[in-house]
Amino acid sequence: YNQIGDQGISNLGSGLANCTNLSNLTLYLISNQIGDQGASGLGTGLANCTNLSNLILYLGINQIHAIGASCLGSTLANCSNLSNLVICLRTNFIGANSRLGIGLSRCENLINLNLNFSKNKIKNEGASILGTCLENIVNLEYLQLNL
């Protein structure tokens, strides 16, 4: 759509890092050119938004691999007030080795979680890792998975 790449999304993340009172955020970044560096940069910026309680990230149809998804998940663990989270990573290149779920398992206040990893070839290993991580989110009441 807008041909936003790693530098552009990292700059957006840097700008969002200054929005420390932000509690609700929706980002539609579908079908751009965002890769691992951009996903990591966005996550780093969002980690400073400690008042976020509702976050919706549509990052489908980009070029994010396992490392970018893992970095995004680990930085979101800093958003301690996060209770509602939607992450769409449909049609990227995540594969079986993403550790996104490990970061999400540290989001202790998550109540509602919606994850879309379709068309990423996460295979049995990736689904197993994700399942193990999800069981650690003890306050989770609503879960929607699209694998």
CA 63 and chain centroid, separation: 14
Element containing residue 145 per DSSP (H, E): strand 142-146
Q: Encoding tokens for residue 42? A: 């966005």
Average pLDDT (71-85) is 94
Q: What is the pLDDT of residues 30-76, one digit of tens each?
A: 999 999 999 999 999 999 999 999 999 999 999 999 999 999 999 99
Q: What does the alpha-carbon distance between residue 142 and residue 91 come to, in Å, rounded to a whole number?
A: 24
**Does CATH number 3.10.20.30 belong to domain 6-14+32-146?**
no
Q: Given this model, what pLDDT does residue 97 score? A: 84
Q: Residue 111: how many CB atoms within 10 A of its CB?
A: 15
Q: Encoding tokens for residue 103? A: 């970061």
Q: Given this model, what pLDDT does residue 1 score? A: 74
Q: What is the pLDDT of residues 90-138, one digit of tens each?
A: 999 999 888 889 999 999 899 999 999 999 999 999 999 899 999 999 9
Q: Which residues pair with 145 in a beta bridge?
A: 115
